Chain A
Amino acid sequence: MSGRSVFVHGPSLEDYGFGEGHPFNPIRLRLTVDLCEASGLLEGYEPAEPNPATEADLLTVHSLTYIRLVQQASRGEGNVSDMRDYGIGTPDNPVTPHVHDACARVVGAVLGAYRLVMAGEAAHAMCISGGLHHALRSQASGFCFYNDAGVAIARMKEEHPGIRIAYVDTDAHHGDGVQWMFYEDPDVLTVSMHESGRYLFPGTGGIEEWGRNGGVGYSVNAPLEPYTVDGSWISCFDALVPEALRAFGPDIIISQNGCDGHALDPLTHLSATTRLYEHVPRVIHDLAHELCGGRWVATGGGGYDIWRVVPRAWTALWATLSHQELPEKVSRAWLAEWGRQSPVELPYLMRDDPADYPAVDRASTIAERNRRTTEAVLERVMPLISPG
């Protein structure tokens, strides 16, 4: 239960985002880093800021045409209607100056994180700017231009032939981009738990999306009902993730730790609290030690209650990843600094008080449906996974 942990971050990673008035506002990264720092959790942890991803890195999973269009858009050039066909310049994925460079830095940070881990310089690495799991081969989607986990996994496969990679995605939205990139690959297990696509973007992630050809069984999806609470979510997670990872036997785990399944999140309809966002990293941490010598890279992802939820959820992630105790209270210095700017009242405890989250209507029906989904995955998909 030890090993060095690295916090991969730098101010330039906060350039990727779409600013005021757009849900994907990079201030959420600043708020999180500040909260980690103010909580004393960064003492002795010098943040590592790696190099940007190169064009060759991006080409491992993106098409050249698409990369060229993003570069053009980034310089304020190019034909608007051509770009829209590639998801560029839509309300979700607006073009900001230098969006190519900003996103390539995020990809580079996740590449750097995994290289530190694979080189044995760190057991665990966290990069909260990463987690852009919707980016597709030739399409910007859901706030994501380039797919950091996709590039990192593709590079890992080149640099470490035969490596087996487990990708675990607990963002409220289905991890579609990463899934499709490795849909036929039995050396990459993608596990995504998310709000059902019937109710939430991107609409995919049903259990029957279990991979294709040689990759059958290596895409695991557990769509959860809207308004799922911690208890039901945690029991589904505990029933599926350890079993899937043990059956697969990874050499490294990459987790996408989007925290937009929180009850306060404005974009989704799940009803989790910080309890879930402490539980998930704890289980992944223990699995990393049990199965793959501790090798674990954690990324951020969605999370659109940027004041009350994101900073606390990802500080809890860092505390687990760096084997430190999460303080009970939110730092007073942090509250003083950000309280005035926040449009909402900031919480003063690091963990949500269950009393503030009243029971959800039909909770037992929802839990029952999630239980059936979990059983169906255990019955139909899990037997298809085998250790290399």
Chain B
Amino acid sequence: MLLVRDSMSREVIAITPETTAAQALALCRERRIRHLPVIDGERLVGIVSDRDLRSATPALGDPQRTSELERIRASEVMTRDPVTTIPDEPIESAANMMRERWIGCLPVVEDGDLVGVITSSDVMEALVFLVGAHEPGSRFEVVVPDRPGTLAGAAGIFGELGINIVSVAMGARREEMPDGSPGRAVVFRVDTVNPGEAAEVLEQAGYRVLWPPAAPV
């Protein structure tokens, strides 16, 4: 779970070094994509973005535009030796690579062959699946003491109440417990439309429930 292979697109729309700028731009438009890996056989040799293509060609309205679009080849505008990833890379490190280098798409390479691409939208989707709503559920945000066993304690409360946990996310963010001692925030999605009782039991057990709020009286 949460590897590049789980989120990448396998059906890659790739071009060759000889593809013209006109053909490449048309592909971007038709398939609604912004990046085209450039391959020579199965080998990845570069990547072209729609922005690379636009900045290399004359502006709209320029009489030279059509002929230039037909003349320019992918090999002239592509980024050679692009940053790549592998199918078994954890998605967070691929995401971090994209974030640090300001790039929106990584070709996925296995033994030098292009096997997929992963884009920032794919990473977003993985995030949505991680904490998001693909099965009905209610969201809880709970602060647990920063000690061994406390996440299990909070999760156990849902278990005792017969409420199934759909997803859990616990981050590095620090929160304070009501008595000022250190804690960590956990987001649970649980399978109930009626979170009130669980929230009450969690509070009674000493956890701090940030969401849901107490019901009106």
Contacts and interface: CB of A to CB of B under 8 A. Distances in A.
Interface of A: 23, 84, 87, 90-92, 134, 136, 141-143, 173, 176, 197-204, 263-267, 269
B193 A134 contact: yes
B133 A90 contact: no
Nearest to A177: B136
Contacts of B189: 203
A30 B213 CA distance: 30
Given A92-B192, A204-B133, A266-B216, 7 more contacts: A90-B164, A91-B161, A141-B136, A197-B133, A199-B212, A202-B136, A264-B216
**Interface residues of B: mostly helix, strand, loop or mixed?**
loop
Nearest to A204: B133
B98 to A, nearest CB: 22
Contact of B192 (A136, A201, A204, A265): A201
Nearest to B161: A91
A92 B138 CA distance: 12
A198 B194 contact: no
Interface in B128-146: 132-133, 136-139
Contacts of B137: 201-203
Given A92-B194, A173-B193, A263-B216, A134 B136 contact: yes
Contacts of B191: 87, 90, 92
Contacts of A134: 136, 193
Contacts, number: 66
B215 interface: yes
A136 to B, nearest CB: 8
B116 to A, nearest CB: 24
B163 A203 contact: no
A173 B189 CA distance: 16
Contacts of A143: 193
B61 interface: no
B182 interface: no
B136 A91 contact: no
A23 B195 CA distance: 11
Interface in B104-145: 132-133, 136-139
Contacts of B41: none
B216 A91 contact: no
18 contacts: A87-B191, A91-B162, A91-B163, A91-B192, A91-B194, A136-B136, A141-B193, A142-B136, A142-B193, A200-B139, A201-B193, A202-B136, A202-B137, A203-B133, A204-B136, A265-B216, A266-B196, A267-B194
A199 B162 contact: no
Contacts of A204: 133, 136
B136 A90 contact: no
Interface string B177-217: 00000000000010111111000000000000001110110
A92 B135 CA distance: 15
Nearest to A93: B193
Contacts of B196: 266-267
A200 B196 CA distance: 12
B211 A199 contact: yes
Contacts of A23: 194
A269 B213 contact: yes
